Amino acid sequence: MKTDSPSALGYRMPAEWERHQATWLSWPHNRDTWPGLFPGVEPAMAEVVRALAPSEPVFVNVLDGDHERHVRRLLERVAPRDRLEFFGIPTNDAWIRDHGAIFVTRQGPEPLLALDFDYNAWGGKYPPFDRDQLVARQMAKELGVPRYVPGIVLEGGSIDVNGAGAVLTTEQCLLNPNRNPKLGREEIEDVLRATLGVSQVLWLGEGIEGDDTDGHIDDITRFVAPGRVVTVVERNAADPNHAPLAANRERLESFEVDGVGRLEVLELPMPEPVVNGDERLPASYANFYIANEAVLLPVFRCRHDDEAREVLAACFPDREIVPIDCRVLVGGLGAIHCLTQQVPAV
């Protein structure tokens, strides 16, 4: 490991349930992302802000002054003005989990560091992405914190950490040649260890139907404690998601987490299929976001919503589980976790 890498300097990526100083959003504006659905996107995002604001400030990237005034009007009835901070950071799209900075922390001087991974819109699928490529560095500048450039393509939705030395990811995404074709598993693991403060990389296989990110972990399996995960399962054996999710479930049973032991695995159901025309959308209860005093749960107005809420309520008894109707948001092929990025407290 390089002596000047974030991990060598004492940085680590905190678990999402650790305290935040804020949650950061890139406000949606690209109507091509939600064809025919955009009128419902901003009201859904306002509900996200409503759920976040009581427990932490909300930072919002906007295109310009006119866009800021528009978003302020949308949010004036859902959050106090002093809980919102706007930044003139123009974007191509709203998926800040993937195009934004990933923050790591340490004790001592410069306690917060912004990781600025390369971004290529999930393998070049959605040009242009020139603005999104610049967002992480601009976030670091706005906060006045140092920035580290690892030099590989990586999206925040492709990793999930337990804050105690382990990271979950998938082979379908991180080993995909549309990301880092010259890097193999060992080289990618080396980068994860050097940047996230982890010692253990836990690999799952494939993601869910309709996921244009090539198998992001935040639609599949999430840490809810250092030695516990929730993972989605599809109980209908005829559904295309059944086999890959069962295979991931089997892998999870074999994992032992350093310092914890055998991984405890809890099941989340998959929602009933959500479609837009003839397109299967990547609806998943695993795309929740853990805020300081709440867990924002995507729901889809189907019979499995209540079960998913109960599973997460048992995992987070000290947080309110806030259901957010994501039937419109998932039309853009993402949901709550994809649209948020935590800024850890230091």
Choose the catalytic residue: 173, 315, 326, 338. Answer: 338
- Cα separation, 112 vs 56, in Å, equals 17
Q: Contact 184/34 with Cβ under 8 angstroms?
A: no
The verdict on whether 173 is a catalytic residue reads no
Strand 294-299 with 289-290, pairing: antiparallel
Q: How many residues does the chain have?
A: 346
| Cα–Cα separations (whole angstroms), residue 31 to 41, 76, 280 | 9, 23, 19
What's the order of all strands across the beta sheet hosting 166-170?
Answer: 160-161, 166-170, 200-204
Query: What are the C-alpha distances in Å from 168 to residues 40, 49, 90, 232, 244?
Result: 32, 27, 30, 14, 16
Residue (of 55, 69, 64, 63) closest to 23 by Cα position:
55
Give 139's contacts (C-beta < 8 A, 6+ positions apart): 24, 87, 89, 100, 101, 114
Residues linked to residue 330 through DSSP beta bridges, in sequence order: none
- Helix, strand, or coil here: 70? helix
Residues classed as catalytic: 338
